[in-house]
Amino acid sequence: MTTYGLSDEHVELANMVREFAEEVVAPVAYEADRTKTLPLDVVAQMGDLGLFGLPFDEQYGGQGGDYLALGLAIEALGRVDQSIAITLEAGVSLGAMPIYRFGSEEQKQEYLPSLLSGKALGGFGLTEPEAGSDAGATRTTAVLDGDEWVINGSKQFITNSGTAITRFVTITAVTGQRDDRKEISTIIVPSGTPGFTVEPAYDKVGWHASDTHPLTFADARVPASNLLGERGRGFAAFLHILDEGRIAIAALSTGAAEGCLEAAVDYARKRNVFGEPLASRQGIQFLLARMQARVHSARLAWLHAARLRDAGQPFKTEAAIAKLAASDAAMDNARDATQIFGGNGFMNEYPVARHFRDSKILEIGEGTSEVQLLVIARALGVA
């Protein structure tokens, strides 16, 4: 790709992860998808490369980089395998980042070194059967009993929650009432806590190799010190985490859109129809041109949002725009690439078929497209 004004260090990182994706991730992607298995050996290698620690301080085992660097890594992985890309994205944005942003120094020292090295994963339990985009409808409760929180409720669609290296999930829970409204706090629940059950994995349409489970809590007890951040500020804190995560999802979406484009260009050049390459047809040329325009626009959008975030400037609206545009690009490019591939595009061994299944969730997870439109409309002062 062109450099897009990136520093030499960022370009080197992007090229390194792109090479890793092609040489290590891509060869096992189909089998991992077919067997619905997260390849933990690949996750370990990502940890060895420092990918899980990219945007964190070195004092906790991080790489001292920025969110732009993380986005470049996620984009490079998303180009060949969205399941691996979302494992990194969720491991950083939803697992480690809440601890880093809102944890006590003791919590940071306890959890971050293993998370940033890729030796452990954490999940974040926000969504419930009756609380998705309307997360304020949270029903899971946590009641103080002496020096312990007693947790009851359920969560759904929780990424990285049931792997062999999952160390904990951080959940939102109602911890009381404040000004006639629910007081929502975030609490760390270690894996293996009695009363905390990771239910069987979902049978998903896509992201087959990504680990995703519903969770239940039945009088699960954790120490009062497992409160993450200020009591009653859990929902507000997670909204900030979601803003950052939307940049990362936009980067993943851009990678997926580019993977579809590259596969479609290669196929159109090699596939002969009526004695001529498919790419010689102007209709196909125009289709590919539109696919390239989507990739370029999506990349510009997420890079801009990441640069604002890293500069300490407001980025909420730009993150919403990036996620909206990039997830649309991924879905549109997956559809067009599948059409170019014809019957082969319906076969799972071809990456475009997997991208077609995988890309739909990009318009839903970490805030639906409708939520992004609402955020943008509010910024315009019309909602």
Note the Cα 33 to chain centre separation in Å.
17
- Per-residue model confidence as pLDDT tens digits over 53-65: 999 999 999 999 9
End position of a domain, from candidates 121, 151, 177: 121
- Per-residue model confidence as pLDDT tens digits over 238-260: 888 889 999 999 999 999 999 99
DSSP 247: H
Amino acid 135: pLDDT: 67
Are 25 and 111 in the same domain? yes
Are 130 and 56 in the same domain? no
Are 133 and 170 in the same domain? yes
Are 117 and 131 in the same domain? no
DSSP states of 68-120 as a string? Answer: HHHHHHHHHHHTT-HHHHHHHHHIIIIIIHHHHHH--HHHHHHHHHHHHTTS-
Are 226 and 246 in the same domain? no
In a domain, 151, yes or no: yes
In this predicted structure, the answer to whether residue 284 has a pLDDT above a threshold of 90 is: yes
- Mean pLDDT computed over every residue of the chain: 96
Distance CA 6, CA 310 (A): 13
In this predicted structure, the answer to whether residue 134 has a pLDDT above a threshold of 80 is: no
* Residue 215 · residue 125 · CB < 8 Å: yes
Q: Is 366 a catalytic residue?
A: yes
In this predicted structure, the answer to whether residue 37 has a pLDDT above a threshold of 70 is: yes
Amino acid 32: pLDDT: 98
In the three-class reduction of DSSP (H, G, I as helix; E, B as strand; rest coil), residue 368 is classed as coil
β-bridge mates for residue 174, sequence order: 141, 184
End position of a domain, from candidates 191, 212, 231: 231
In a domain, 2, yes or no: no
In a domain, 1, yes or no: no
In the block, residue with structure tokens 């939520």: 371
Split into its structural domains, the chain has a count of 3
β-bridge mates for residue 220, sequence order: 151
In a domain, 271, yes or no: yes
Are 108 and 164 in the same domain? no
Are 312 and 224 in the same domain? no
Are 322 and 246 in the same domain? yes
Are 331 and 359 in the same domain? yes
pLDDT level of residue 78 (50, 70, 90 thresholds): very high
Q: What ranges make up the beta strands (E) of the chain?
A: 121-125, 141-145, 148-159, 166-178, 181-190, 196-198, 212-223, 227-228, 272-273, 276-277
Q: Which of 230, 244, 366, 370 is catalytic?
A: 366
Domain of 203 in residue numbering reads as 122-231
Amino acid 137: pLDDT: 87
Amino acid 1: pLDDT: 53
In the three-class reduction of DSSP (H, G, I as helix; E, B as strand; rest coil), residue 171 is classed as strand
In a domain, 96, yes or no: yes
- Per-residue model confidence as pLDDT tens digits over 210-247: 999 999 999 999 999 999 999 998 888 888 888 999 99
What tokens does 14 get?
């992007």
Distances (CA, A) of 231 to 173, 174, 224, 237: 10, 10, 11, 11
